[in-house]
Amino acid sequence: MNVKSLQSHHTHYASLGSPWSAKADKVQSITGILLGCFLLAHLHFESSILLGKEAFYHVVQFLEGGMFSSTGHGFPMVTKLFSIFILIVVMLHALVALRRFPAQLGQWRALRRHMSGINHKDSHAWFWQLVTGFILFFLAPVHIFTMITNPEIGPHLSAERVYHANAWLLYALLLPAVVIHAMIGLYRVAVKWGLTANRAGLRKVAKVLIVYLISIGLLSLISYILIGRELSLPITPFVP
């Protein structure tokens, strides 16, 4: 290794050990926990469509503050504002996470060689979190911007977005990437901050959650597609 490489490595590891790096780790963990918990809630709220249109309608009205409206109808502005908040959290999370992202093709090749030569489950988990994070860098903002610009939610309105606007393709790619990234992220946060010493058990929980969340997400997506196929344009919002 030449002098230039040694200096580069020294600068890299010195930056990782700086006070800024420690603060960035905390910010990354906090924002990751927020986003992971939001995903758990979001997929379960969305899956209420599996119980029928009326069930999903009432969930939406509750989340949008329908109890504070004289008509019982929620306020779409709540979805818009919360989407803006989630976008800010996502941007902050990505900003502090990018400092550990391989920026050059040679670094990716070195990482692949390293991964093929070891059998360490946490290293493989980190690699898949890296890959899914790269995918989410492009897909997640598209979904969030859609919710900011068009916050109207409902059985028919959401089905229109999924089926008639062909958003199903985005969601089919986004769903596995975000679930895998989030569950591995929550696992790594728990291990990193010493919340558990049972890594094997926690890995099993993470795998079960990944399969479970992707399953309910896909079933919900299929439900929206089936509903959308039965609707004709222009869409009339669902009212029980």
Rounded Cα distance, 235 and 238, in Å: 9
Residue 120 has φ and ψ, to the nearest 5°, of: -110, 115
Q: Given this model, what pLDDT does residue 8 score?
A: 44
Rounded Cα distance, 218 and 172, in Å: 8
Q: Given this model, what pLDDT does residue 102 score?
A: 59
Compute the average pLDDT of residues 18-44.
89
For residue 4, give Cα distances in angstroms to 12, 51, 72, 99, 146. Answer: 12, 62, 67, 20, 46
Residue 1 belongs to some domain of the structure: no
Q: Which domain holds residue 53?
A: 23-110+127-229
Residue 16 belongs to some domain of the structure: no
Q: Count how many domains the chain has.
A: 1
Compute the average pLDDT of residues 78-104.
87
Closest CA to 152 of 51, 236, 87: 236
Rounded Cα distance, 60 and 45, in Å: 8
Task: Please compute Rg for the chain using Cα positions.
Answer: 21
Which residues are documented as binding site? 42, 93, 143, 181
pLDDT in tens, 103-134: 544 555 555 665 665 565 666 787 888 889 98
**Sign of torsion, CA 203 207 212 213?**
positive
Rounded Cα distance, 116 and 100, in Å: 20
Range from 10-14, 187-191, 215-219, 233-237 carrying the lowest mean pLDDT: 10-14
For residue 61, give Cα distances in angstroms to 34, 40, 45, 48. Answer: 23, 19, 12, 13
pLDDT in tens, 192-209: 887 777 888 999 999 999
> Which amino acid type is present at position 88?
I
pLDDT exceeds 60 at position 99: yes
Domain at 167, CATH number: 1.20.1300.10
Closest CA to 73 of 162, 165, 157: 157
Residue 122 belongs to some domain of the structure: no
Residue 9 belongs to some domain of the structure: no
Rounded Cα distance, 181 and 135, in Å: 10
Q: If pLDDT is split at 50, 70 and 90, which confidence band does 148 have?
A: very high
Residue 141 belongs to some domain of the structure: yes
Q: Mean of the per-residue pLDDT values for the chain? A: 85
Residue 120 belongs to some domain of the structure: no
Q: Give the position of tokens 């969601």.
A: 171
Q: Given this model, what pLDDT does residue 125 score?
A: 80
Q: Given this model, what pLDDT does residue 5 score?
A: 41
Which residues are documented as binding site for heme b? 42, 93, 143, 181
